[in-house]
A and B are shown apart, each in its own frame.
Chain A
Amino acid sequence: MDGAFVGTTFWRLMAALPLTLEVWFLSVVLGGLIAAGVVWMRVGGSKPLEILARAYVALFRGTPLLIQLFIVYYGLASLPAVRHSLFWPILREPFNCGVLALGLCTAGYQAEIFRGALLAVPHGAVEAARACGMSRLLLFRRIVFPIALRAGLPAYSTEMISMVKATALVSLITLWDVMSVALKIRNDTLVTYLPLILAGAIYFTVNYILGAAFLSLERRLSPHLRPRPS
């Protein structure tokens, strides 16, 4: 194993990183939007909507992401009704299927993180704000959102990191992400460790940076928890 091979393998993997990050970014944004809707249904006060939201979370947290991905990619495509619908141009593309499946799945987790964060807002704070005559929107913007954001951040960062790793599954639906390039190099050259270790190092670095970014955000948002300067 020579240095040149390590170099070309590394750069071939790096060339696939944008796709991995694209799938990650779009799916967590999509998941966040769906999760916001699910949480709104969950805590909004309507019983049927709450049951629907609970069912969504139970379904997408309770089944393997791989099954969800295959149902979206291969399952839907096997139904003629789907192939002849106006959604087919979207679902035909593996990229869209990957983003959709990952987004639907992370929405289940993110909804629970959001709900937990909302529960962490002290009742007294909400009551005090109401007593001051704040409107619902102002109350959310000034009181609920800032407190919930701080409370939800650690769990949210964990979910973001686990989603970076989950993107490796799209290698199974013909997308050329970091994982599938690593598998291809491994199969073509029959060198097993190097491409897998390099791919692992790339995922690790991305996640390390992501984790550090969330930590610094957490620190910025919690000035009141820092020790007083002496």
Chain B
Amino acid sequence: MGSRLWKSVALGASVAAALAMAPAAFAKEWKTVVIGMEGGYDPWNLTDSSGKIVGFEVDLANDLCKRAGVECKIIAQDWDGMIPGLKAGKFDVIMDGMSITEERQKEIDFSKPYAAPPAAFMAAKDSDVAKALGAGKVVNAAKDPKAGAAAVKAIQAALKGKTIGVQSSTTHANFANKYLKDVATIKEYKTTDDRDLDLKAGRIDVGLDDYPTIASTLDKPDAKDFTIVGPEFIGDVFGVGEGMGLRKSDADLTAKFNKAIAAAFADGSIKKYSLKWFKIDTTP
């Protein structure tokens, strides 16, 4: 009897000890962090001629990882499976110009935003839309709702009966579906490249995307007949900006990167990358 009691006490103690040790043994050390991006969302991230992924988010990722003291590995992942891929553990962080929205926050956590560029429309220079809307002016719907509403009205009038192209399941698609559903035909594409091809082919009249992506499309020689038209939008469905997407269970990693982002803002590094890749300052 005595020895039995002794045994169970010893067992209980060892179980308790094991449980106490468990968090230390199982908490991830975060030596390497895998980052998923599309590799085709120029200039956020793009694949260069040698097959390497480069771009604003690559420079930023390398910087932030150094500050957070982790080694980073970048892998390519289609926009379509971005959040499911993160949740399935194929990578630990999403960096793909992903806007922080309430809908997404139900599924994953976000770091503090590292960029907040406006959304912009592009159309052929000699098109009706370009004539009706004129060149772009920045409208901040978050700070000035009245100007935002007026800009939406102008866009609705100019796009009556036109076809607009957006990448599927983006804030730009949300904007089109919220404001332009009844006046225009909305076409949703898997990639922005496909959308740009159809714009050049004349299957769609306007493209809506974030300003840096549009600017980079327009930078290419075969896009010389196209230009940015109408208001450049901040706020409303476009949210507070773009941030890193992380699993809800990895709060420690989110905190690490938030600290790194704050430091990179403070010493002007993020602004430097923004000017290098976007040609404009997109810091939020």
* A positions within 8 Å CB-CB of B: 74, 77-78, 83, 92, 94, 172, 174, 183-184, 186-188, 190, 192
Contacts and interface: CB of A to CB of B under 8 A. Distances in A.
B107 A190 contact: yes
Contacts of A92: 201-203
Nearest to A188: B169
B190 interface: yes
Interface string B95-128: 0000000011011000000000000000000000
A170 to B, nearest CB: 12
A187 B188 CA distance: 12
A172 B197 CA distance: 13
20 contacts: A74-B194, A74-B197, A77-B197, A77-B203, A78-B197, A78-B200, A78-B201, A83-B201, A83-B202, A92-B203, A94-B203, A172-B190, A174-B187, A174-B188, A183-B80, A184-B168, A184-B188, A187-B168, A190-B104, A190-B106
Contacts of A187: 80, 168-169
A7 to B, nearest CB: 20
Contacts of A77: 197-198, 201, 203
A190 to B, nearest CB: 5
Interface in B165-193: 168-169, 187-190
A187 B107 CA distance: 12
Nearest to A70: B194
Interface string B73-98: 00000001001100100000000000
Residue from the set A77, A78, A94, A174 with the largest chain B CB neighbour count within 10 Å = A174
Interface of B: 80, 83-84, 87, 103-104, 106-107, 168-169, 187-190, 194, 197-198, 200-203
Contact of A174 (B80, B104, B189, B200): B189
Contacts, number: 41
B188 to A, nearest CB: 7
Question: Which among A78, A172, A183, A187 has the highest number of chain B CB atoms within 10 Å?
Answer: A187
Nearest to B187: A174
A88 to B, nearest CB: 8
B284 to A, nearest CB: 24
Contact of A190 (B84, B168, B188): B84
B201 A192 contact: no
A39 B187 CA distance: 39
A190 B46 CA distance: 25
Contacts of B80: 183, 186-187
Contacts of A190: 83-84, 87, 104, 106-107
A77 B187 CA distance: 16
Contacts of A78: 197, 200-201
Nearest to B189: A174
A188 B103 CA distance: 8
A188 B177 CA distance: 13
Contacts of B189: 174
Contacts of B194: 74
Given A83-B202, A186-B84, 16 more contacts: A74-B201, A77-B197, A77-B201, A77-B203, A78-B197, A78-B200, A92-B203, A94-B203, A174-B187, A174-B188, A174-B189, A183-B80, A183-B168, A186-B80, A187-B168, A188-B103
A184 B83 CA distance: 13
A209 B194 CA distance: 35
